[in-house]
Structure 1
Amino acid sequence: MALTGTAALAETVEVKMLNKGEKGAMVFEPDFVRVQPGDTVKFVATDKGHNAESILDMIPDGADTFKGKINEEIEVTLDQPGLYGVKCLPHYAMGMVMTVAVGDDVTIPDDYMEGRMPAKAKERFAEQLEQLDSL
Structure 2
Amino acid sequence: MEKAMTPSRALLAAALIAATCASTQAAEVTIKMLNNGPAGMMVFEPPFVKIAPGDSVKFVATDKGHNVETIKNMAPEGVAPVKGALGKDETITFDKEGVYGFKCSPHYIMGMVALVAVGANLDNLEKAKGLDQNKMAKQRFEPLWAKAEGK
Within 5 Å, give how 1:1-135 maps onto structure 2.
9-107=25-123, 109-134=125-150
Q: CA contact under 8 A between 1:62 and 1:80: conserved in structure 2? A: no
Distance 1:32 1:41, change over 3 A: same
Distance 1:76 1:130 in 2: 23
Distance 1:65 1:102 in 2: 16
Distance 2:124 2:41 in 1: 26
Aligned length: 131
Aligned-residue identity in percent: 45
**Unpaired runs of at least 5, structure 1:** none
Matched AA of 1:18:
L
Matched AA of 1:44:
V
Larger Rg: 2
Corresponding residue SS for 2:126: coil
TM normalised by structure 2 equals 0.79
Q: CA contact under 8 A between 2:59 and 2:89: conserved in structure 1? A: yes
**Unpaired runs of at least 5, structure 2:** 1-20
Q: CA contact under 8 A between 1:113 and 1:122: conserved in structure 2? A: no
- Alignment RMSD (CA, Å): 2.0
TM normalised by structure 1 equals 0.88
Superposed CA offset, 1:13-35 (max 9, x none): 00000000000000000000001
